[in-house]
Structure 1
Amino acid sequence: MSPTPRTVERARTVARLQRAGYTQDVIAYHLGVTSRTVARLHITSKTLPPEEEPMASIRTWSDRAACRTADPELFFPLTYNDAKQIKRAKSFCHACPALQDCLNYALDNPDRTTDGIWGGTTPEERRRIRLAERTTAA
């Protein structure tokens, strides 16, 4: 039986995070799964064919994003006073191959990204970045 598309995405995310130097326990914590599940996904990732280049070039940054397989609630805290949740979301972002593209999207589309962690930044951090960009452009 072949793995489901979600399993394939998660297995590839596990492989990316392991290449970035994250331990099995840290990956499990970020994905919200057990270490045993991470081990299974790691084994699955070894059996997957490499992604085809033509398809990879057609995909958008959001298709490559590590958060694609994570719980969305991690990136949209109820309050931005929850430092532990924000740190967890940001650390997930910093291992993502689409980090810069995600941040650029968030900065270019403030009306669509008023809430949540995007590109490893909070809404307040993005406001400061935009302000700094306007200040240096003037």
Structure 2
Amino acid sequence: MPSHIVTHAGTATPAQREHRLRTLDEIVLSSAATCRASDPDDWFPLTEDETVLRDIARKLCGDCPIQASCLERQLLIEEGMPLYETDGITAATTPLERYEIRTGVAGIEVAA
């Protein structure tokens, strides 16, 4: 994973965070990202099975050229959020995977 990705709360001032988020918005929202041609419902699968979610995530985002920027943007958006408030596939990651990246806590079990 690129070392420039912000993964922990408090690593940037609010102004730095907002500036970075605006920059990432421009990259992600104005690009030819893989998701631009997909059905929005694809990013919010109706399953809580982590294995199925991982497979869907890799299929949707596997070869996307802006995956790192997309992930960094989503981590900034979800910064400080509990796992139960996050959803959807972003940058080939599930909500649980992003939570583990943000918190540094791995191996959390999610009830199905």
Q: Confirm or deny a common fold (TM above 0.5).
A: yes
CA gap 1:74/1:85 in 2 versus in 1, 3 angstroms: farther
Number of residue pairs matched by the alignment: 74
Query: Is the CA contact (8 Å cut-off) linking 1:75 and 1:86 kept in structure 2?
Result: no
Higher RCO (CA < 8 A, seq sep 6+): 2
Residue 34 of structure 1 corresponds to which residue in structure 2? none
Does residue 100 of structure 2 align to residue 128 of structure 1?
A: yes
Q: Show structure 1 runs of 5+ residues with no match.
A: 1-58, 134-138
Question: How far apart in 2 are the matches of 1:128 and 1:77?
Answer: 20
TM-score of the superposed pair, with normalisation by structure 2:
0.55
Question: How far apart in 1 are the matches of 2:98 and 2:76?
Answer: 10
Larger radius of gyration: 1
Q: Percent identity?
A: 36
Query: Is the CA contact (8 Å cut-off) linking 1:93 and 1:120 kept in structure 2?
Result: yes
Q: What is the aligned-residue RMSD (CA, Å)?
A: 2.4
Residue 109 of structure 1 corresponds to which residue in structure 2? 77
More helix by share: 1
Question: How far apart in 1 are the matches of 2:43 and 2:54?
Answer: 7
**Equivalent position to 1:62, from 23, 29, 49:** 29
CA gap 1:73/1:130 in 2 versus in 1, 3 angstroms: same
Query: Is the CA contact (8 Å cut-off) linking 2:54 and 2:92 kept in structure 1?
Result: no
